[in-house]
Amino acid sequence: MNVPDDVRAAMRKTNEVFDTQVVGRQNISELDRVYTRNARVLPPGSPMLEGREEVKAFWQGAIQALGLKSAKLTSVDAEAVGDCVIEIGRADLLVSSGDTITVKYVVQWKQEDGDWKWNVDIWNASE
């Protein structure tokens, strides 16, 4: 757990943009503040997505299909390596049925345009 406090704060800010802006308001363009330009996203049951256009199309569809209401992201472990952070985390996803789906994830974080963003993003079901 060697990640500086200012980087942790920046990571929390990015996660809040995802939760409140992207998921909460379905403001898909805010994904530019969440993912790097060359981000790779590996959703369960889908081929790897590459770049913001594919990532935006995926989340637009997934948020609507699930009726996703919020995404609370909790860091379980984070390690600074080189100019990156490797994070293991837990996401609690509130969906329109009222159920909460819990998934675990690994994110490689990189700094881009002054913000810390998700450069590689993969998750799967916790149970």
Question: Using CB under 8 A as the criterion, which residues of the chain lie in contact with a second copy when the complex forms?
Answer: 40, 42-48, 76-77, 80-84, 86, 88, 104-106, 108, 120, 122-127
Instruction: Name the residue nearer to a second copy (CB basis): 100 or 124.
Output: 124
Alpha-carbon distance of 24 to 10, in angstroms, equals: 20
Q: Is 30 helix (H, G, I), strand (E, B) or coil?
A: helix
Could you give the residue ranges of the DSSP H alpha helices within 1-127?
A: 5-16, 52-66
Least Å distance, CB 19 to a second copy, is 21
Least Å distance, CB 73 to a second copy, is 15
Instruction: Name the residue nearer to a second copy (CB basis): 57 or 88.
Output: 88
Alpha-carbon distance of 96 to 80, in angstroms, equals: 36
